[in-house]
A and B are shown apart, each in its own frame.
Chain A
Amino acid sequence: MAITARQKKIGFAGAASVAAATLGGLLIGLGALYLSHAAASVLAAIALLVVFLAMLPRWRTLDHMQQDSRLISWYWGGGFGGGLGLVLALVIAGARSPLFAGAALVWLLQFMGYAVARLRWWLAHRPEAE
């Protein structure tokens, strides 16, 4: 079956976002190892921004069903996976361990990001008062 122009666009945007994420992860890791705390923090913030910007074109090329499949998978799969990670960190390392603290922080930030995005969505879709 021939590859359509749309599939090519999605593939290219996907490859670009994976490459950006990989490079971003490497930069953050290397920065944390070899740079000062301040420099590594700035580098991590920039890398995060670049990764998200690189992901935008792919998201915009996806059709409604493709976006739906990712949203539902992230909501249930990502939510359950994150919760499971938190429980495992607690079971394996204990409540006072840095591992559990890190897992809890990620879980909390993920939830806060969800809440902010949800609020933004609600505000954007709020109808005018009659």
Chain B
Amino acid sequence: MKNRLRDERTARGLSQGELAERMDVSRQTINAVEADKYDPSLPLAYKLAAFFEMPVEELFLNPFKSPSAS
């Protein structure tokens, strides 16, 4: 799932390891989610969205919604 996780993380000056520690997941998981190699679980998606203080759909682009609809 395409997302803005890398942009948001780097904007806050966090490394993947630091974000992983705050989310209580492995660094590999953050890396895989950022690279669109793994879709996060719903709780992790919400946890990340809450951490970055934005709606989930702003952080993770809804693949079933056309851009013009938003």
- Residues on A facing B (Cβ under 8 Å): 1-2, 4-7, 10, 63-66, 68
Give the complex CA separation of A48 and B35 in angstroms.
Answer: 40
B29 and A65 form a contact (CB under 8 A): yes
Residues of B within 8 A of A4 (CB): 17, 20-21, 27
Q: How many A-B residue pairs have CB under 8 A?
A: 37
A1 and B29 form a contact (CB under 8 A): no
- Residues on B facing A (Cβ under 8 Å): 17, 20-21, 24-29, 32, 38, 40-41, 43-44
B32 and A6 form a contact (CB under 8 A): no
A64 and B41 form a contact (CB under 8 A): yes
Give the complex CA separation of A68 and B28 in angstroms.
Answer: 13
B25 and A65 form a contact (CB under 8 A): yes
A6 and B24 form a contact (CB under 8 A): yes
- Closest chain A residue to B31, Cβ basis: A65
Give the complex CA separation of A6 and B41 in angstroms.
Answer: 19
Residues of B within 8 A of A63 (CB): 24-26, 29, 44
B29 and A6 form a contact (CB under 8 A): no
